Amino acid sequence: MTQRTGGLYRLLYFSGFYQWFQDLLGDRAFMRAVADDWIRPRPGDRLLDLGCGVGSLLAYLPQVQFVGVDHNADYIERARQRFGKRGTFLTVDLNRLQYDPGWIGGFQIITLICVTHHLSDSEVLALFGTLGKFLAPEGRLCLVDPCFHEDQPWLARQLAKRDRGEHVRDESEYERLAREAFASVRAEVRQGILRLPYSHLFLEAHGPRGDHRHASRE
């Protein structure tokens, strides 16, 4: 198990409590910043949101072709109720993610928003290794995750240590994992987007390694 499940963390499994808690933390401003400043999708893009939770990102996107997947069936049901036909929502464990030819393919954007700190290094690398099958030739991965970094305020570090996901990493560790799987990676740390002091790594990656379409770049 890669996320904390005891005590108060247990309540977060229920979509209603989870959504209320996220709102309390300032999730709306956070998602707005993630969508407008980092993902910057164009209308009509195909976007695959991995670990989509209750689908909150979709509220901040233009008219895109959206597929969201999460392993929590209660979150997926709430996302369907919130967004109806604006998106396709599927209950899928990322550790068993497989390309289904029935899906819309060729995603211009794949997002992992606050998800990989729930996965071990080997799970992250296995997941990254499959993404080439889903991405369009010039597609990109947009990842945001809580992180540790130098000169981090004490409280931000303590909160990150207690995150539900048990694999919050140093900023350089996220980058190292991405560089093992992608030819081109850029990343930066941003602070103060939530109401609580929290640091997030914003990372963008192109050119999945092992994908023949990108072999000439390596």
Ligand X SMILES: C[S@@+](CC[C@H](N)C(=O)[O-])C[C@H]1O[C@@H](n2cnc3c(N)ncnc32)[C@H](O)[C@@H]1O
What residues line the site for ligand X (CB under 6 A)? Answer: 51-53, 56, 70-72, 75, 93-95, 113-115, 118
Contacts of 169 (CB under 8 A, 6+ apart): 117, 145, 147, 148
Q: Diameter of the chain by CA atoms?
A: 50
Task: Please give the residue whose beta carbon sits closest to ligand X in the complex.
Answer: 53
Distance, CA of 22 to CA of 56 (rounded, Å)? 10
Amino acid identity for residue 93 in this structure:
D
Q: Helix or strand or coil: residue 117?
A: helix
Least distance in angstroms from the C-beta of 180 to ligand X: 19
Nearer of residues 26 and 213 to ligand X, judged by Cβ: 26
Least distance in angstroms from the C-beta of 102 to ligand X: 19
Nearest to 41 by CA among 113, 98, 117, 100: 113
Nearer of residues 178 and 207 to ligand X, judged by Cβ: 178
Distance, CA of 98 to CA of 69 (rounded, Å)? 12
Least distance in angstroms from the C-beta of 138 to ligand X: 24
Nearer of residues 2 and 172 to ligand X, judged by Cβ: 2
Nearer of residues 82 and 149 to ligand X, judged by Cβ: 82
Distance, CA of 124 to CA of 144 (rounded, Å)? 13
For residue 125, how many other CB atoms are within 10 A of its CB?
14
Least distance in angstroms from the C-beta of 216 to ligand X: 33
Structure tokens at 173: 């560790």
Nearer of residues 200 and 214 to ligand X, judged by Cβ: 200
Structure tokens at 132: 């080439």
Least distance in angstroms from the C-beta of 34 to ligand X: 8
Nearer of residues 15 and 214 to ligand X, judged by Cβ: 15
Least distance in angstroms from the C-beta of 114 to ligand X: 4
Distance, CA of 69 to CA of 139 (rounded, Å)? 18
